[in-house]
């Protein structure tokens, strides 16, 4: 079993290659067979000993080789020596690394088996999106504000320049609280249809200048489907100061969108209508999915309906009528101006993560939520 140095009669290159190859394999086998420190030390000594070690024996045997083969033999011999030394060295390092315990190479583990993962909870994509947006605006000087979900008609509509019976109220699909008939209209309770009432509540308590961001839950009487939910999330912003202009509104949102979606997105503003802002606008960002081309390879880009633009939010300059409701707290529309904006956090999360059904956000399905872990 143990290797012995055989006599060589053929000194051709092929014969030498074969002979030295056999010696290498034999050495490796012996080393692997060793299962204790004493064992591998014995293997080392048998091969490397100056006196009568196998390497020495080979060297001695080859003294008889013809002169013309000596040079080649020298190279093979050197190579074998280095191989043996290297193997022994690796072996030794490995052994010294394991704490007093022999861990033979052949006992290595299957590193391709899956790791044991302690469960880590996943952030909800809508809340994650909201928090990211909040951070973007905090860096621009915005503080988070909040307010009640069950609102009065006054804050949800009247003070936002939706007069009683105004057709603009129709677009809000409001859910009302029962049993309010006995109250004056402005006192009647409803589920806020937007986070905008917090604009009024904040301006009632804080004097200008202000910069606030209002993330929150809102409700509409929309039966659930792939793109509607009776409950969803908005992120509202408001900035009021002396000399806030429409250019400031555009610049702020353009900056925020680049921060959120990436510096390559562009913004575009189109006229729109909201009772509480004037001028009012809808803001689009260049499609961050297709890069604004409207196509993804050969396929049309669905998220932007091939237009290259995606509608993200509604915004505008605060209507002077809104300021009239909080005029006494320093919001004289002759002296201050401001802008407001509002976006759907759920919609942005849908677009950002390519989710195709809004209902998935509200089912608590771990197969869905776990994807954000």
Q: Could you give the CA distance from residue 244 to residue 253 in angstroms, rounded to a whole number? A: 13
Q: Could you give the CA distance from residue 293 to residue 97 in angstroms, rounded to a whole number? A: 57
First CA to last CA distance, the chain = 56
Q: Does 281 bind other proteins (CB under 8 A)?
A: yes
Count of positions on this chain that bind other proteins (CB under 8 A): 80
Q: With CB cut-offs between 5 and 8 Å by kind, which of Zn ion, other proteins, none does residue 301 bind?
A: Zn ion
Q: With CB cut-offs between 5 and 8 Å by kind, which of other proteins, Zn ion, none does residue 287 bind?
A: Zn ion
Which residues make beta-bridge pairs with 340? 238, 316
Q: Mutual orientation of helices 246-261 and 125-138 as an angle, nearest 10°?
A: 130
CA 53 to chain centre: 61
Q: Could you give the CA distance from residue 194 to residue 248 in angstroms, rounded to a whole number? A: 23
- For Zn ion, the binding residues in 240-299 under the rule CB under 5 A are 287, 289-290
Q: With CB cut-offs between 5 and 8 Å by kind, which of Zn ion, other proteins, none does residue 100 bind?
A: none
Residues 6+ apart with CB under 8 A from 168: 162, 273, 275
Instruction: Residue 235: name the closest of 152, 140, 136 by CA.
Output: 136
Smallest separation (angstroms) from other proteins to the CB of 306: 11
- For other proteins, the binding residues in 208-237 under the rule CB under 8 A are 209-211, 217, 219, 221, 223-224, 229-231
Smallest separation (angstroms) from Zn ion to the CB of 265: 11
Smallest separation (angstroms) from other proteins to the CB of 290: 18
Smallest separation (angstroms) from other proteins to the CB of 354: 19
* Neighbouring C-alpha atoms within 13 Å toward the C-beta of 21: 6
Q: With CB cut-offs between 5 and 8 Å by kind, which of other proteins, Zn ion, none does residue 119 bind?
A: other proteins
Write out the two tokens for 304. 């932007």
Pairing of strands 143-144, 150-152: unpaired
Smallest separation (angstroms) from other proteins to the CB of 179: 7
Largest CA distance in the chain: 120
- For Zn ion, the binding residues in 296-325 under the rule CB under 5 A are 301, 304
Write out the two tokens for 81. 């020596």
Return the range that interacts with other proteins (CB under 8 A); candidates 25-33, 41-49, 94-102, 356-364.
Answer: 356-364
Nearer to other proteins, 78 or 363 (CB): 363
- For other proteins, the binding residues in 41-80 under the rule CB under 8 A are none
Q: Does 179 bind other proteins (CB under 8 A)?
A: yes
Nearer to Zn ion, 190 or 351 (CB): 351
User: What x-and-dash track marks residues 297-336 binding other proteins by CB under 8 A?
Assistant: --------------------x-xx----------------
Instruction: Residue 346: name the closest of 196, 228, 213, 232 by CA.
Output: 232
Residues that bind Zn ion (CB under 5 A): 287, 289-290, 301, 304
């Amino acid at each position: 079993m143990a290797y012995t140095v055989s006599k060589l009669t053929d000194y051709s290159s092929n014969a030498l290659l074969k002979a030295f190859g056999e010696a290498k394999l034999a050495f490796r086998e012996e080393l692997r067979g060793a299962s204790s420190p004493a064992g591998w030390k014995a293997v080392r000594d048998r091969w490397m000993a100056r006196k009568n070690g196998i390497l020495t024996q080979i060297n001695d045997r080859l003294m008889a080789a013809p002169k013309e083969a000596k040079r080649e033999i020298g190279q093979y011999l050197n190579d074998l020596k280095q191989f043996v030394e290297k193997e022994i060295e690796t072996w030794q390092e490995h052994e010294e690394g394991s704490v007093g315990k022999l861990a033979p190479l052949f006992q290595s583990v299957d590193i391709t088996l899956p790791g044991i993962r302690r469960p880590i909870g996943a952030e909800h994509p809508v809340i994650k999106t909201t928090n990211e947006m909040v951070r973007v605006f905090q860096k621009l000087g915005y503080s988070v504000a909040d307010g009640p979900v069950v609102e009065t008609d006054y804050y949800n509509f009247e003070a936002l320049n939706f007069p009683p019976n105004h057709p603009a109220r129709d677009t809000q699909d409001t859910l009302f609280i029962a049993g309010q008939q006995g109250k004056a209209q402005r006192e009647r309770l409803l589920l806020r249809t937007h986070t905008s009432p917090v604009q009024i509540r904040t301006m009632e308590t804080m004097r200008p200048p202000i910069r606030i961001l209002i993330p929150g839950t809102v409700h509409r009487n929309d039966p659930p489907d792939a793109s509607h939910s009776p409950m969803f999330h908005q992120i509202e912003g408001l900035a009021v100061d002396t000399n806030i202009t429409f250019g400031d509104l555009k610049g702020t949102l353009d900056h925020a969108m680049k921060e959120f979606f990436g510096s390559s997105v562009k913004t575009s503003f189109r006229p729109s209508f909201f009772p509480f802002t004037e001028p009012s606008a809808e803001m689009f960002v260049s499609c961050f999915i297709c890069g604004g081309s409207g196509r993804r390879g050969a396929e049309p880009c669905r998220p932007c309906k091939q237009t290259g633009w995606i509608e993200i939010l509604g915004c505008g300059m605060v209507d002077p009528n809104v300021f009239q409701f909080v005029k006494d707290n320093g919001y004289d529309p002759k002296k201050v101006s401001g802008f407001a904006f509002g976006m759907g956090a759920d919609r942005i999360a849908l677009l950002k993560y390519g989710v195709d059904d809004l209902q998935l956000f509200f089912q608590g399905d771990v197969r869905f939520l776990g994807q954000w872990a």
